[in-house]
A = this chain, B = another copy of it.
Amino acid sequence: MNRSDGRSTDMLRKVKVTRKFLKHAEGSCLIEVGETKVICSASVEETVPLFLKGKNEGWVTAEYGMLPRSCETRVNREKQRSGRTFEIQRLVGRSLRTAVAMRELGERTITLDCDVIQADGGTRTASITGSFIALVDCLDVMRKRKMIRRIPITDFVAATSVGIVDGATLLDLTYEEDSKAEVDMNVVMVSSGSFIEIQGTAERKPFSKEQMDVLLGLAQKGITRLIEMQKDLLKDVQ
């Protein structure tokens, strides 16, 4: 299988992260995964959702948006808040919550805003990988402001997509690959190799356990590399 950008089947696209991309946010970055570009920001607020009031715990949540012209076709601002959007922001929030010790946050909410500037497949997994970096930078600022004693992160979190396209198992699908995939899987993992989330979908025909095992192996390989990159980027944060 020849990929249009010349990658081998088990190769990630080029990833570039610009930390502290926004002036006002406690944490932020621009993450570029090939042509996919997402601005991730982390904002702290001194409040928690109703169901946590008085429990002396924090909360981490996410919102996801796309610029109207991030895609091939312009999408109306009103139509942005669709089912797909809700699905993605729930996934991002859930994935990052698993890596935070909520008790140490105090009664505070950290909101991760993932805004897609340009889309070429994999926006939700780039959002997770980038949000983790914004989150750590935000927690670092909170520590410096004496809001917390230490950075309450229990593990690194990153994500990628894998899929079956024309019978070949591929790592990190572009939009073009994704749109003709038979199977599409998003995987969120921690540094130990354990999973936080697996969402596998047969787009055209059902997939077997064997196919799934190959896909998961490919995903683990990719995410391991993404986490190495995160560790390298964040090595100044102790």
A198–B198 CB distance below 8 A: yes
A198–B199 CB distance below 8 A: yes
Asked if A140 is at the interface (CB within 8 A of a chain B CB), the reply is no
Residues in A172-199 with C-beta less than 8 Å from chain B: 189-190, 192-199
Expressed in whole angstroms, the minimum distance between the Cβ of A217 and any Cβ of chain B is: 9
B216–A198 CB distance below 8 A: no
Binds B, one of A124-132, A206-214, A224-232: A206-214
Q: How many residues of A contact B (CB 8 A)?
A: 60
Set B28, B68, B82, B194: member contacting A43, Cβ < 8 A? B68
Set B63, B68, B115, B118: member contacting A23, Cβ < 8 A? B118
Residue of B nearest to A111 (CB): B74
Question: Which residues of the partner chain B approach A24 to less than 8 Å between Cβ atoms?
Answer: 69-72, 118-119
Expressed in whole angstroms, the minimum distance between the Cβ of A52 and any Cβ of chain B is: 16
A202–B206 CB distance below 8 A: no
Asked if A148 is at the interface (CB within 8 A of a chain B CB), the reply is no
Set B23, B67, B120, B199: member contacting A41, Cβ < 8 A? B67
Question: Which residues of the partner chain B approach A98 to less than 8 Å between Cβ atoms?
Answer: 202-206
B195–A198 CB distance below 8 A: no
Residue of B nearest to A24 (CB): B72
> Do A25 and B69 form a contact, CB below 8 Å, given A155-B206, A208-B194?
yes
| Further contacts, 20 of them, CB under 8 A, given A45-B74, A195-B207 | A22-B69, A22-B70, A24-B70, A24-B71, A39-B117, A41-B69, A65-B67, A65-B77, A69-B113, A82-B86, A84-B90, A86-B86, A87-B87, A190-B206, A194-B205, A194-B206, A195-B208, A196-B201, A196-B206, A199-B199
Asked if A200 is at the interface (CB within 8 A of a chain B CB), the reply is yes
Asked if A49 is at the interface (CB within 8 A of a chain B CB), the reply is no
Bound state CA distance, A67 and B23, in angstroms? 12
Question: Which residues of the partner chain B approach A209 to less than 8 Å between Cβ atoms?
Answer: 193, 195, 216
Asked if A19 is at the interface (CB within 8 A of a chain B CB), the reply is no
Question: Which residues of the partner chain B approach A194 to less than 8 Å between Cβ atoms?
Answer: 202, 205-208
Bound state CA distance, A98 and B84, in angstroms? 18
